[in-house]
Amino acid sequence: MDTIETIKDQISNNTILLYMKGSPNQPQCGFSARTVEVLMACGERFAYVDILSNPDIRATLPEYANWPTFPQLWIDGELIGGCDIVSEMFDSGELQTLIKDKGPA
């Protein structure tokens, strides 16, 4: 399976998916840490991909998503955005509503 197919497969098989640096227990950048914090506060399980240990995905995803930075939050196959957008949505209550409507990952 090529990298694009792997990415499509990951996105389609996980309702809530975070591409991040590190893991939820050990984020490797402040933006990933903040995004994980916000997602955990929403109370639903989510999947993640550590782009630092997946260099092909790290190189390919920005072009596929048309989004240059990490982390990237995908919900129900749709790119939501990075840390700033996710944090703003959380602060407004929009993220919690979106996640609750989608159900557990």
Looking at domain 3-102, does it have CATH number 3.40.30.10? Answer: yes
Angstrom distance (rounded) from CA 47 to CA 55? 18
**pLDDT tens-digit map of 80-92:** 999 999 999 999 9
What is this structure's pTM?
A: 0.94
Q: What is the mean pLDDT of residues 59-78?
A: 97
CB within 8 Å of 16: residues ≥ 6 apart? 39, 44, 45, 46, 47, 73, 74, 75, 99, 102, 105
